[in-house]
Amino acid sequence: MNITYYGHSCFGVEINGKHLLFDPFISPNELAKGINVNTVPADYILISHGHGDHIADAENIAKRTNAKLISSAEIVSWFEKKGIENTRGMNIGGKIKLDFGNVKCVVAQHSSSMPDGSSGGNPMGFVIESGEGNFYYAGDTALTYDMKLIGDYRSVDFAFLPIGDNYTMGIDNAIIASDFIKCNDIIGMHYDTFGYIMIDHQEAISKFDRSGKKLTLMEIGSTLKK
């Protein structure tokens, strides 16, 4: 599995040669100016919720790549009205089998409206199962006891968790979340992009370390093998 960081909560994950792209927000992100959004690969675009900092480049990338857009039924139908036809609407608790593995939608405690104010349905996280490993992409969420179900349901090898606080859980709650999901290998997201979510990287890494966990804060544009 190859993981590429495009800034904020946007990651590309390559599994069995297929490219999954999570929460594309690249071109408006000052920190991601080095990324050419027109070359980001995608076979599947997974969207956790409707906020602008998670969907900004979804329409463009979906139209360029014809990737399958996977999200809540509400978000999918919003994009269908923009002419995107390759979609899969889901809801929390649902699981689908695709050519690279399975996608299961799980609870996120957050909100979800589209940029025009229409409803995005419920926000979600994703559990991905594949022959190359399993992981959890939390989306924007508070710490919630529902995460214990993920730990009981499937062993995840690593997890993408928000750590920036203010709009989502912060570092201390993300450490508890990693206990709930029974996973000690965490990739941080949703930090530094805006003033309210700036974090001290070294302090965050040290806090995870003192709890016996590994926090990775990827450089934007870098790729990690798992």
Give the nearest distance from C-beta 84 to Mn ion in angstroms. Answer: 21
Give the nearest distance from C-beta 117 to Mn ion in angstroms. Answer: 17
What is the size of the binding site for Mn ion (CB under 5 A)? 3
Q: Is 90 exposed, middle or buried (0-12, 13-18, 19+ CB in 10 A)?
A: buried
Nearer to Ni ion, 8 or 51 (CB): 51
Nearer to Ni ion, 49 or 68 (CB): 49
Give the nearest distance from C-beta 109 to Ni ion in angstroms. Answer: 11
**Best CA proximity match to 34, nearest among 74, 7, 59, 1:** 7
**Best CA proximity match to 218, nearest among 158, 128, 175:** 158
Nearer to Ni ion, 55 or 128 (CB): 55
Told to check if 53 binds Mn ion by CB under 5 A, we report yes
Query: What residues contact residue 41 under an 8 Å CB cut-off, 6+ apart?
Result: 12, 14, 19, 21, 65
Instruction: Please provide the distance, in angstroms rounded to a whole number, between the alpha carbons at the two ends of the chain.
Output: 5
8 binds, among Ni ion, Mn ion, none (CB under 5 to 8 A by kind): none
Nearer to Mn ion, 2 or 166 (CB): 166
14 binds, among Mn ion, Ni ion, none (CB under 5 to 8 A by kind): none
Provide the angle, in degrees to the nearest 10, between the axes of the packed helices 73-80 and 58-65: 70
Question: Could you say which residues in the range 128-147 bind Mn ion, by CB under 5 A?
Answer: 140
Give the nearest distance from C-beta 99 to Ni ion in angstroms. Answer: 29
Nearer to Mn ion, 30 or 202 (CB): 30
Task: Yes or no: say if 4 and 185 are a contact pair by the CB < 8 Å rule.
Answer: no
Told to check if 165 binds Mn ion by CB under 5 A, we report no
Give the nearest distance from C-beta 140 to Mn ion in angstroms. Answer: 4
**Best CA proximity match to 40, nearest among 20, 17, 70, 15:** 20
Rounded alpha-carbon distances, angstroms, from residue 106 to 71, 93, 148, 155, 204:
11, 6, 11, 14, 26
Q: Is 81 exposed, middle or buried (0-12, 13-18, 19+ CB in 10 A)?
A: exposed
Nearer to Ni ion, 51 or 104 (CB): 51
Give the nearest distance from C-beta 41 to Ni ion in angstroms. Answer: 25
Told to check if 57 binds Mn ion by CB under 5 A, we report no
Q: What phi, psi does 69 have (nearest 5°)?
A: -90, 120
Q: Which residues here bind Ni ion, judged by CB under 5 A?
A: 51, 140
Residues making contact with Mn ion (CB under 5 A): 51, 53, 140
